[in-house]
């Protein structure tokens, strides 16, 4: 079974779906691997790094022609679709619910497609979960970006010229990204507070040294341990509980999401206007509509001296680590789906069933 690694075509994308190290692990399991030339160059992997572990480096057209499995991080695009053949197995993040046209196009080719963003969030799928591995890096990078944009330092510093008090950081959403943001801000010496609609995150936030701002969530629904849309009553109670910290914060990182829905607005323009001059908000939910009312994706909006940066941070800004973790997730996924390099097609099994969006031209999930 030959796996083809394609160079990412989405603007700004620097990651690659398989690193040389993980390619070697798949080769040791009996797979053959072919990569489009320069596919790893933006993640600091040279063509020769792949060749050294037994991967063949070829032009784009050859990869499409020879590979039985095609790997990409971002959804396959129109140009890719022209080159896809019946019987090929595509693996990438397809976001099938918001991309019905793409799914139809793949099906019309008679191809098969697995979507990595549809991996169920169950314990045994944790090592395949690309959303977690990339969100973790996003949480780290959000704080680093914030530190760069702030006009203050994080730690307490006693100097002959006087004492600098530590910066105050507030994190909304204590999921994968939020926990890493807490840990990073703490390591840099900030005083950190955090809040989440799921009260079970209190202990996790505190174990990393943050003060948890508890908001009464009675009557709020959750599903399988994940947040659902909060009521207006909860939003009001959250503002009451968090505003004091928000108005004193030097850096705010928002990471709150609701699976499959638009991100909740947690900070209104009116609240931004009451924040400290020079404060920075990094809105990691900007691509899902934003947790801050004034944020705009990939833009910095300055409101009354507060910098609001809407970003989906780009795990590609740490593309070497992001590619390595993504690759390990893909490795675990492929090993899970196959036996001695042949697909098992166990459709009764939850991970296979949930991720198999198109099978030999037939759409299984809408």
CB of 156 to ligand NAD, least distance (A): 29
Residue 245 engages ligand NAD in binding (rule: CB under 6 A): no
Residues linked to residue 192 through DSSP beta bridges, in sequence order:
169
Kindly calculate the radius of gyration of the chain based on its CA atoms and give it in whole angstroms.
Answer: 22
When binding is defined by CB under 6 A, the residue of 31, 76, 154, 172 that contacts ligand NAD is 172
Tell me, yes or no, if 49 is annotated catalytic.
no
Residue 122 engages ligand NAD in binding (rule: CB under 6 A): yes
Residue 129 engages ligand NAD in binding (rule: CB under 6 A): yes
The single residue of 38, 121, 233, 274 carrying the catalytic annotation is: 121
Residues linked to residue 157 through DSSP beta bridges, in sequence order:
164
Cβ contact 292:272 at 8 Å: yes
Segment interacting with ligand NAD, rule: CB under 6 A, options 191-199, 240-248, 323-331, 351-359: 191-199
Tell me, yes or no, if 140 is annotated catalytic.
no
Tell me, yes or no, if 129 is annotated catalytic.
yes
Residue 258 engages ligand NAD in binding (rule: CB under 6 A): yes
What's the rounded Cα separation, in Å, for the pair 64 and 83? 6
CB of 194 to ligand NAD, least distance (A): 9
Residue closer to ligand NAD, measured from CB, 113 or 177: 177
Residue 44 engages ligand NAD in binding (rule: CB under 6 A): no
The number of helix segments (H) and strand segments (E) in the chain equals 12, 21
Tell me, yes or no, if 126 is annotated catalytic.
yes
Give SS3 for 90.
strand
**How many other CB atoms are there within 10 angstroms of residue 44's CB atom?**
13
CA 321 to chain CA centroid, Å, is 13
What's the rounded Cα separation, in Å, for the pair 84 and 63? 10
∠ CA 14-334-114, nearest 5°, is 75
The single residue of 44, 124, 226, 274 carrying the catalytic annotation is: 226
- Which residues are marked as active site? 121, 126, 129, 132, 226
Give me the residues that bind ligand NAD (CB under 6 A), please: 121-123, 125-126, 129, 131-132, 135, 172-178, 195-198, 201, 227, 230, 255-259, 264, 266
């Amino acid at each position: 079974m030959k796996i083809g690694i394609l160079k990412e075509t989405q603007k700004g994308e620097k990651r690659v779906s398989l690193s040389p190290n993980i390619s070697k692990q798949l080769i040791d399991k009996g797979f053959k691997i072919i990569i489009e030339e320069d596919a790893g160059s933006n993640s600091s992997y040279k063509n020769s790094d792949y060749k050294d572990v037994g991967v063949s480096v070829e032009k784009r057209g050859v990869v499409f022609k020879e590979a039985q499995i095609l790997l990409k991080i971002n959804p396959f695009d129109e140009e890719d679709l022209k080159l896809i053949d019946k019987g090929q197995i595509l693996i990438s993040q397809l976001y099938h619910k918001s991309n019905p046209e793409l799914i139809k196009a793949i099906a019309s080719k008679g191809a098969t497609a697995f979507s990595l963003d549809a991996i169920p969030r169950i314990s045994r799928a944790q090592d395949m979960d690309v959303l977690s591995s990339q969100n973790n890096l996003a949480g780290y990078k959000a704080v680093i970006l914030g530190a760069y944009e702030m006009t203050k330092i994080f730690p307490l510093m006693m100097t002959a010229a006087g004492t600098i008090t530590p910066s105050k950081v507030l994190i909304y959403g204590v999921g994968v990204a939020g926990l890493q943001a807490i840990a990073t801000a703490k390591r840099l010496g900030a005083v950190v507070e955090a809040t989440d609609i799921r009260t079970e995150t209190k202990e996790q936030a505190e174990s990393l040294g943050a003060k948890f701002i508890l908001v009464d969530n009675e009557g709020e629904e959750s599903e399988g341990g994940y947040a659902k849309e909060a009521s207006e009553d909860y939003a009001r109670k959250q503002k009451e509980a968090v505003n004091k910290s928000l108005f004193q914060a030097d850096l705010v990182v928002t990471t709150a999401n609701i699976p499959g829905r638009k991100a909740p607005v947690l900070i209104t323009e009116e609240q931004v206007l009451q924040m400290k001059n020079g404060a920075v908000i990094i809105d990691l939910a900007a691509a899902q509509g934003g947790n801050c009312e004034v944020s705009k994706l990939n833009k910095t909006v300055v409101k009354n001296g507060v910098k609001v940066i809407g970003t989906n941070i780009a795990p590609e800004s740490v593309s070497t680590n992001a590619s390595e973790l993504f690759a390990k997730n893909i490795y675990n996924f492929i090993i899970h789906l196959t036996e001695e390099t042949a697909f098992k097609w166990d459709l009764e099994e939850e991970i296979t069933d949930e991720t198999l969006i198109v099978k030999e031209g037939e759409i299984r999930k809408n």
